[in-house]
Each structure stands twice: as structure tokens, then as C-alpha cells.
Amino acid sequence: MDLYKLTITQASKGLKEKKFSSKELTKSVLARIKSIDKLVKAYVTVDEENALHKANKADKLLMKKRADNPLVGIPFALKDNICTTDIRTTASSNVLKDYLPIFNGTVAKKLKEKNIVLLGKTNMDAWAHGSSTEASDFFTTRNPWNLGRLPGGSSGGSAASIMSDMTIGSIGTETAGSIRQPSAWCGAVGLKPTYGRVSRYGIVAMGSSLDSPGPITKTVEDAAIVLNAIAGFDPYDATSSPKKVENYTKDIGKKIKGMKIGIADMYIESSQKNIQEKIYQAIEVFKKLGAKVKNVNLVDPQYAISVYTILQRAEVSANLARFDGIRYGYGRDKFGEEAKRRIMLGTYALSTGYYDALYLKAQQIRTMIVEDFEKVFKKVDVIIGPTAPCTALPLGSSKTSPMFGEVQDILAEPSTISGLPGISIPCGFSDGLPAGLQVIGPQFSEKKIIQVAHAFEQETNYFKEKPKL
């Protein structure tokens, strides 16, 4: 049995039934990494010695029947912008290539308290600036479905590691599509929580009013299990919500008959024909499941591009100001071209004479987009549509477009700048590449979008398809 192929749910069940040990599971995944990662290049750092040590610790807990949660002994990969004391945190930038944090980010801390087995850290666009993982200062991660294609980004390493079975669970972060878009391109499940539902503390900041950590997994149920572990208020993060954490697995398996699902033509029409075809097929599946599908009017997603670009660049210029080569990391001469562009544009947007015309105006339009969603959610429970406008593009595609990320994230940006939760699930294949469907809900409706996504997942079984590596 190839243990590395297991989901979190399956692995947890097998561990508790003593069909195999955490050490055996971890060794299986590590062997898979040694065999496959030279092709996919998903990991920046793999810590085999520490992983096996943690697996032994988990096995002792399992033997004593002190494993009171489903993540004990489960191998995990973290995006390399999440601080960890035992593994370097680079944000895939030469500025931080040797940085070892003195504290754990809250997401890492919570998972470690659940006694996961941390395998290592995954590749990303440097500083999370991009949607290809081609902007990493180290190397380009490949899409496991076609090694000549991009995995998406900026959480491309996390998505690629999951779909190539080089981990059982993984964590990404999203500022404007960076969980959902690579999940769509790699055929994974990517859950972006409500802004503030999961703490940002200990994550290398990009857009502080946007950043949201979340799970990238093999199934919807796995994503819900991970969200149960990482969600909640954090006194170290003033933007985290004190709202009570729900049990996100509670409504999994419940029927969605009678649920009102909205579709926006502007979103579907913003994707390529092959993606549109898959979305229309998905709509028929929801109708078959008894959902009431109705058209809704939303602001054209293209307006979110300019809003996001201005706000994100402004916050980048502020956040990257701390990396001066004095407090930690190397000097500013180590910044890549994309980081330099974003610093300059953000500083310009915040400068005297342009603040009102650019930054303030973008905030006003952001509020209009938030209100537009609020109005629509009075009529429907969730909104569905394509996650990304196309399937995975060839290697090199991002090098010819300075706005590559904004264009590829166009369908996720409106919900992200509104702080809404969204989940991407595979909804079919085109020329051997996965297509993604996203389910968006009102703020703190994670349980509902998980219920809807799981119903579709189980009806279609696309999640069972795996790339041949």
C-alpha cells in the first residue's frame, strides 16, 4: 500500500486503527519526495531528521491512546512564508534565504500543538508576489499534471506537493487568489477563510488587510479538518476575529436541496470557453442535487484588478520597508525585480498628491464591492463560478506580463478584497489539465461553502483523479 496517497481522513483512521505507524507514513511520504520532487520542485526545505523525530513522538501518543485529534502524526507541508523555529523561513526570497525565526507563526504553532509531522517548507513566488511560482528567487515549481506548465501561485509549492502526493496536508496563504488559483491549476482543494478567521501572526506580510492563511488539501473534508485546527482568535493578531469557531465538519454530507446558489454571468464570461463549459456542467450537477440556481448581478470583476493593485502595492511598500538588512536578512539589493516594482508603485500610490487620487479612491471602490456582495447574499446562500480564467499556462508565461498575477486572479480578487471565504474544487479536465470551480459565501460562512463543495465533490469524484508522475 502506498501510504503517501492517503488523505488526512484516511491516514488518521489508519493510524488510530494501528494499520500503520506515523513513522511508516512519514517514511513513505519522504521517499516520495526524494523520488518526485526533483521533477516537481515543490519544496524549498525538507527536514527529514526532524520529521522522523516528530513521527516517533506522535506514535508514542497514539500507543498511549492520547491522540485526541485527527491530525496527530499526519505529515504536513507549510508555505515558506509561515515562521517556524525549527526550519528556515525564506519567503522564497534571497533576502531571507538563511533566516531562522525565533518564534512560530500562530498557524504553525496550532498545528504543532496538534502533533503534526512537519516535513518542510514549500516554494512560492518571492514574498508571495505573483500567481505562477515562477517569481521565486530560487527555482520554478512545475505543475504535476504537466511538467511544462505552471502550478499557479503564490502557494504553488503547497498545491503541487499535495497533488503529487508529497505530503498529506498543506497550508497556503491568499492575498488575492493565492490559495484558490494554484489549487485550481493543480486540481487540489483550496480553502481561503474569511479575513481574520485564521491568524496572520508570524506570516511574512504582503497585504496586511488581505492576507489569509488556509488549507490546501486532497479533499473538502480534509480542508474542514485543518480549518478546525487553525481557526480562531489570536491575541497576537489585532485583525483576528473573536467570533466563535464552528465545527466545520458538522454539515459535511448534508444535502443541499433547496439551497439558493447564485451565478454571475460576468464571472463566467471572464473565463475561457473550455472553463465556461465545465462551469455550465457543474451548474447542472447542482440542479441535480436539488439546489435552486439563479442568476445574480455582481460588479464586473475587472474593476477589482485596479483596486487590488493599488491597495496591495501600497501595503507591500510599507511591509517590505522593514527588510533593510539591519534587523534580519540580507540587504535590499537582494530584492528581485517584482518586489522592486511593487515597492515603487506602492510608494507612488501613497505619496503626497497621489494618496487621494489613488489609494483613497481604491478604498472607496473596495467598499462598493463589499456592499455589492452584501446585497447579493440577501438573495442567495452562496455564489459559484470559475476559480481562474483558464487552465495552467506554459512555463515562462508570467515573464512576459507585469500584470500576470492580477489577470490570473481576476475571479478571486473581488471576494478577497471583500474579506469573504471561498473554496476551490476541481470540476473537470481540459486537455489533461484540471479546471477549478469556486464557491464563495458571506463572511464567516465557511461551514456552508464546505457543505456545498463537499456535495459537488462526492457527486462528481473529480478529486479521485491523480497526475501520473
Asked whether the beta carbons of 21 and 82 are under 8 A apart, the reply is no
Q: Per the residue annotation, which of 41, 54, 79, 448 is the catalytic one? A: 79
CB atoms within 10 A of CB 253: 11
User: For position 21, what pLDDT does the model report?
Assistant: 98
* Cβ count within 10 A of residue 22: 28
Name the DSSP letter for residue 322. Answer: G
Whether 154 is a known active-site residue: answer: yes
DSSP 318: H
CATH architecture, range 3-464: Alpha-Beta Complex (3.90)
The C-alpha cell that represents 366 in the structure block: 473596495
- Asked if residues 335 and 343 have their Cβ atoms less than 8 Å apart, the reply is yes
Hey, where are the domains in the chain? 3-464
Q: Which helix (H) or strand (E) holds 343?
A: helix 337-350
Q: Which of 178, 199, 212, 424 is catalytic?
A: 178
Q: Which residue from 154, 134, 135, 152 is spatially nearest to 143, judged by alpha carbons?
A: 152
Q: What is the pLDDT of residue 429?
A: 98
CA distance 124 to 140: 9
The dihedrals phi and psi of 151, each to the nearest 5 degrees, come to -90, -5
Is 397 considered catalytic here?
Answer: no
Please pick, among 21, 22, 131, 154, the residue that the annotation labels catalytic: 154
Phi, psi of 338 (to 5 degrees): -65, -40
Helix ranges, 351-412 (H): 361-376, 404-408
* Euclidean distance between CA atoms 67 and 16, whole angstroms: 8
Report the alpha-carbon distance of residue 468 to residue 452 in Å, rounded.
Answer: 29
Of the candidates 380, 175, 383, 378, the one whose C-alpha atom is nearest the C-alpha of residue 266 is 383
Which among 93, 25, 29, 91 has a CA at the least distance from the CA of 58? 25
pTM value is 0.97
The separation between CA 224 and the C-alpha centre of its own chain, rounded to angstroms, equals 13
The confidence score (pLDDT) of residue 191 equals 98
Spell out the per-residue pLDDT of the chain, length 469, in tens: 799 999 999 999 999 999 999 999 999 999 999 999 999 999 999 999 999 999 999 999 999 876 779 999 999 999 999 999 999 999 999 999 999 999 999 999 999 999 999 999 999 999 999 999 999 999 999 999 999 999 999 999 999 999 999 999 999 999 999 999 999 999 999 999 999 999 999 999 999 999 999 999 999 999 999 999 999 999 999 999 999 999 999 999 999 999 999 999 999 999 999 999 999 999 999 999 999 999 999 999 999 999 999 999 999 999 999 999 988 899 999 999 999 999 999 999 998 888 888 999 999 999 999 999 999 999 999 999 999 999 999 999 998 888 898 889 999 999 999 999 999 999 999 999 999 999 999 999 999 999 999 999 999 999 999 999 9
Give the pLDDT confidence score for residue 403 in this predicted structure: 83
Quote the pLDDT of residue 239. 97
Distance CA 110, CA 114 (A): 7
pLDDT of residue 64: 84
Question: Measuring CA to CA, how many Å separate 109 from each of 104, 216, 426?
Answer: 6, 18, 30
Q: What is the pLDDT of residue 209?
A: 96
C-beta of residue 46 within 8 angstroms of C-beta of residue 30: yes
Residue 383, strand partner residues: 262, 440
Residue 201 confidence (pLDDT)? 98
Burial class (CB in 10 A: 0-12, 13-18, 19+), 277: middle
Residue spans of beta strands (DSSP E) within 9-158:
43-46, 75-79, 117-122
Instruction: Examine the residue annotation and report whether 158 is marked as an active-site residue of this protein.
Output: no
